[in-house]
Amino acid sequence: MHAEVLDEPELEFGGGARHIDPRFGIATYGPADLLSPDAPRAVRLGLIGPADQLDGLSSWLERCREPIPAKDGRYPHLFPTFPGCDIDVGLHSTLVLSDRNTRTISPSMLRTIENSPAETGLSAAVDAYAEEIIALAEENRVDVLLIARPEQLVDVTRRSSRRSTRALPSTGSNAGGLPRGANFHDLLKARLLHLRQPPVGYGRQDEASRAWNLHVALYYKAGGVPWRLLRNPNDLTTCYIGVSFYRNTEDTSLDTAVAQIFNERGDGVIVRGGPARITGSDRQPHLSRDDAHQLLLGALDAYRREHRTMPARVVLHKSSAFTSEEIEGFEGGAEDRRIDTLEMAWITTSDGARLFRGGKLAPPLRGTMLALSDRELILYTTGSVEFYSTYPGHYVPQPVGIRPTRPVRSPRETCAETLALTKMNWNQTRLDGQLPVTQRTANKVKAILRFCPPEQAVATRYAHYM
C-alpha cells in the first residue's frame, strides 16, 4: 500500500508556456495554437432563439470584447477576471456577429411551446429550432451555432411534476412518442449531428465564469486548441480511447458500445460499435471478443483518418470491468494495427474507499492517490485545491477507482496521466474535472446517440456533442 499527493499537472499554452490552470494559462500566454496559421482568428457565429433573448445575448457578447471583473475577490484564483475577447488578448480571436446570421423563433411558435402539453411543446420546439438551424447552416456563412433556449420550454421530465401527474409508461416512452428522459438539448443535438457547424447552448453562471466557459467552448468548436497536454518528446505518440455503453431508446434489450478517441491536443473522434449485453455476476454491459476487436479497429482507423498516422501507444479506459473475451479482442485489434503498447483500465466512480487529511477538516487534496496494489488504484480528482485556497465543491468529494488489467506503468505514472486527462474539458475552464476526458465525454455522447437510430449517420467530431 502506498499513498501520496501528486503535483497538479501542467498544461501547454501559447509558445509552449505552461500553467496548471486553463484560465490563467490563456490569459497569460494565449491558446496552445497561438502561433499556428490554422488557429481561428475570427469565429463566425450563427444565433438562433427568441428575439428578445438574442438581443440580450448579442449585447452581452459585445460586452465580452472588454474585460469582465471577477465576482468574488476572496478567491481570485477560483474566480478570475475574464480578459476580454479580441485579437490581442485571451484566446486572441474575435467573434463575428451579423444580423444576416441570426434566426428568430416566432412569437406564435413560442406561444405554442408554452401552451401545449409537455411532450407536444418539446417536439414543436425541436422542430422549430432545427428548421431555422438547418437553413442557416446550409448558407455556409457561420462556423459555430449558438442557441438560446426558449424560457417557455420545460423538459418532459421536469414538466410532468408541474403540469401533469400522468406517469410515463414502463416502455420508456410517453404518450406523445418521446422517450423517457427526453430533453430539448439532447433531442436537438441528435437531430443536427449531420451538420458541419457544431451547435452550442447558452447557459447561466456568474458573468466572468460564463464568459470564460462559453468563449473557450466556441474556440474549440471552431477548430481551435485552447490548451493541450504536456508531452515529453521522448514519449510515444499516444491515442486515448474511452469505451462506454448506451441503450437506444427504441430498443429495451441491447446496449451499444461507443468509443471516444482523443490525441494529446484534445482532438476528439466518436465511433459507434456493435451491440453489448448485460452478462456475468457484475450485471454490467460487455462486448464479445469479436465486437471488442472490431470496435478497437474502428477506433484506430478513425484516428488514422483524422491524424494521418497511427499512434505507437493506446490507453483504453472502459466504464465497466474487463472480461477475458474483451481483453483478447482489444489485444487482437492492437496487434492487427501493429500498436506497440496497449494499456487498459476500468475507470469507476463507485469505489468504496475514502481518505481523510490528518488533523484537518478539509477534504483530501486533489491529486491524492492510494495504491492498494498495481491493479487497484484510488485517485482524488476532486477535492481541496491549493491553487484555489479552498475546496470548490458542494459535496463530499468521491475518488475514482482505476483498475489496470495488465499494468505497464507504475501506479504513480498511471494516476498522474489520469489526473492530467481530467483537465481536457472544453465545456468548463476550472482545473478540477472529476473524470478523464475518455470517460467524461461518454455521458454527453450517450445522451445524444440514444436518440439516433442505428442506421443514422452521425457526426464523428466530438465538438458536435459538447
Specify the pTM. 0.90
**Which DSSP symbol is given to 80?**
P
pLDDT of residue 163: 35
| 17: Cα separation from own chain's centroid | 25
**Domains contained in the chain, CATH given:** 40-221 (3.40.50), 229-464 (3.30.420.10)
Give the cell for residue 142. Answer: 457561420
CB environment 329-355: b (16+ within 10 A), e (fewer): bbbbbbeebebeebbbbbbbeebeeeb
Strands 42-50 and 18-19: unpaired
| DSSP reduced 3-state for 128 | helix
Cα dihedral sign, 135-136-139-143? negative
CA distances from 9 to 225, 228, 367, 415, 418 (A): 18, 11, 9, 11, 10
Residue 73 falls in which region: left (phi positive, over 0), alpha (psi -120 to 50) or beta? alpha
pLDDT of residue 254: 63
Q: Which of 363, 373, 376, 371 is CA-nearest to residue 434? A: 363
φ, ψ of residue 421 in degrees (nearest 5): -70, -20
42 vs 53: CA distance, rounded Å? 23
| DSSP reduced 3-state for 115 | helix
List, run by run, the mean pLDDT of 10-residue segments along the chain (466 residues): 95 97 98 96 96 94 96 89 97 96 96 90 94 93 93 64 32 51 88 85 77 96 95 87 83 73 88 82 87 95 92 95 96 97 94 78 91 96 95 90 95 97 92 93 84 82 87
pLDDT of residue 455: 78
Helix (H) or strand (E) holding 96: strand 94-96
pLDDT of residue 203: 58
Q: Which residues contact 332 (CB under 8 A, 6 or more apart)?
A: 289, 293
pLDDT of residue 156: 64
pLDDT of residue 158: 47
| DSSP reduced 3-state for 461 | strand
φ, ψ of residue 299 in degrees (nearest 5): -65, -45
381 vs 83: CA distance, rounded Å? 28
Give the cell for residue 135. Answer: 437553413
Cβ atoms 31, 219 nearer than 8 A:
yes
211 vs 60: CA distance, rounded Å? 9
pLDDT of residue 160: 38
pLDDT of residue 35: 96
464 vs 466: CA distance, rounded Å? 6
Give the cell for residue 447. Answer: 445522451
Q: Which residues contact 50 (CB under 8 A, 6 or more apart)?
A: 104, 105, 110, 148, 150, 151
Residue with cell 469507476: 348
